[in-house]
Amino acid sequence: MKGKSPIVILTVVLAVLLLIAVGFGVFQVASLKSQVQEAKLQNEELMLTNEQLQLSNEFDMLNAEFQQYEDQAQRLANDTILAKYTAAKAKVEQLMQELKSEKVKSQARIKELQNEISTLKGLLRHYIAQIDSLNKENAGLRAENQEIKSQNERLSSKVQEVTKSNETLSERMTLAEKLNVTGVSLTGLKKNGKVEKNVTKAKQLMVTFTIPQNNSTPVGEKTIYLRIVNPEGQLLGGAGSFSFEGKSVAASARKNIEYAGDEIAGVKIYWDVNTTLTPGDYTVELFTDGYRLTSRHFTMKK
């Protein structure tokens, strides 16, 4: 730089330094702007991510509520509510899939999804209210049915009691009609009709009894059948048979009497000995009108 003054040289140097400083400043400003823009973008992305996360959580909670009432909805007899419920559930699942995809990155779309969630929540609350109402109604019907069932059971029990009471009354009335006998005895007789104490020598066996008064017994002719069973368990037969409890039963002897409702004392039925009699216990039974009037045991001695 020969021929130039020191002032010119200084001026040039200062100009160069100023240019360098300005360039550096411009670079710093540009760099700072870039950093600010990048930070702004990162912040917006974080906000979107956070809002997506919140939205996803809301979907999960909504879906959980759907699942909580899904079993109840399946049991509903109301097809309209079930159809609406199913459609809303399908919409939730569709939005969840969209939320998980990479397409949902804009603030506007997230806002739309939030609005849809809000609408679905309203629908869900409405359906849940209807489900609860139907459940309460069904519970009331079940309680009413149970009460009706209990009433029917009590009525059935009462009918059974009345039926049993009527059967008992009928049985008592039937038994009241039964002819009674008292003072039954078994005696061995000789050929001349006198008492024979030695049964082996008896020519006849005589059964004596009394028929008490009974106004409930139908009056008229009665056939009284006698059965005598010896100590060996054999029937002393000879008088044909009669019907008793649906079976034909052999008789030892029979006697016809006219019953007018008054007492008949000293009724006698005879059986003629036609076999060898042995000492021991003899069984005497009397029957009439399909009833066994008595069954007594007597010891006959030799």
Write out pLDDT tens, residues 68-125: 665 555 555 556 666 776 777 677 677 767 766 655 566 677 777 777 777 776 776 7
State the CATH architecture for 182-300: Sandwich (2.60)
Domain parsing of the chain, residue ranges: 6-135, 182-300
Is residue 270 over pLDDT 90?
yes
pLDDT band at 168, cuts 50/70/90?
Answer: very low
Per residue in 222-238, pLDDT (tens digit) is: 999 999 999 999 999 88
Per residue in 47-69, pLDDT (tens digit) is: 767 766 777 777 677 667 666 66
pTM assigned to the model = 0.46
Q: Is 52 exposed, middle or buried (0-12, 13-18, 19+ CB in 10 A)?
A: middle
